Every structure is written in C-alpha cells, then in structure tokens.
Amino acid sequence: MKRFIGMAIIVGALLGGCVPDAQLASHNLSKAADMFEIDRRIVFYNGINGEYMLVMEGKCSIEDQKHQLEVVCKTGTSEYKKHFLGLSDNVTYFAEQIEGANVSTYHYRVVFKPQSIITNTDLEVDINDAVNTLTK
C-alpha cells in the first residue's frame, strides 16, 4: 500500500509538471472561486434586443449545466443563496472576475474538507414508533 501511494505521488508530480502555466492558473482560480474567495460579476444578456437581463455580483460559484446555470453565492459568514437561471438560444451569460487573485502556477490546489466526508445526518423518526421500540 505504501508503495502504491509513493508511486501515485511520483506520477502525479511528473504529470503535474507537464501542465501549461495558464491551465494550472485557470484550475486554481476556479478552485478559489468555488471556495468563495473571488468576487465575480455574472451578467445575463438577451442576444435579440441587446439588453442586460440580470447582473449578479459577489463571491459566487457557477456551474454551467447544458441549458441552466447554477449560481451559488456566499451572502454572509455561513449564509448562501442558490440561483437557477435558464439559458436559451437568445439568452446567454458571461462571468467576469472583478479583481486579480494570487494563485500558484507551480502547484495544483486541492482542498480536503473532513466535514464533507463525515456528513451531517438528519434523522426523522415517528415518535410513536420510537416510544414503542423503547418500551419493548
């Protein structure tokens, strides 16, 4: 097992060295935006009449699903809002990073969150069933 992990690290390091700087910076910028560290401006544009339909600004993560854009924005210390916006032939969007950000062009950014591995579990129990089980 230790040998496998060592080989995986070596192969990862070798492959990581083959990635162009721009691609690595792009990956790290996307990761920073997904961690709500980068301010973005997202504009929805009507291509027929040439008007802006909606503008969103803030620490937002975007995910483009074929005909729908999912935008999650951090609005407070532990508050988030999720928006679903439909895309069509005449409605498109563009996202702009408002300010520059420091990212590495030498190392991939990987974020481990133990709380996402050990999730919160919501338990729903019928109180009558619970009482009956306890009294047996």
83-132 pLDDT, tens digit per residue, is 999 999 899 999 999 888 887 777 767 777 776 677 767 767 777 776 66
**Closest to 112 (Cα-Cα) out of 31, 52, 5, 55:** 31
**Extended strands (E) in 12-79:** 39-46, 51-65, 68-74
Residue 131 within a domain? no
Q: How far apart are CA 98 and CA 38, in angstroms?
A: 8
- pTM passes above 0.75: no
Joined tokens for residue 121: 């579990």
Contact 103, 32 (CB under 8 A): yes
Q: Is 76 helix (H, G, I), strand (E, B) or coil?
A: coil
- Which residues constitute the domain of residue 115? 2-121
Could you report the per-residue pLDDT of 28-79, keeping only the tens digit for each?
A: 888 889 889 999 999 999 999 999 999 999 999 999 888 899 999 999 999 9
Confidence at residue 105, expressed as pLDDT on a 0 to 100 scale: 74
Number of separate domains in the chain: 1
31 lies in some domain: yes
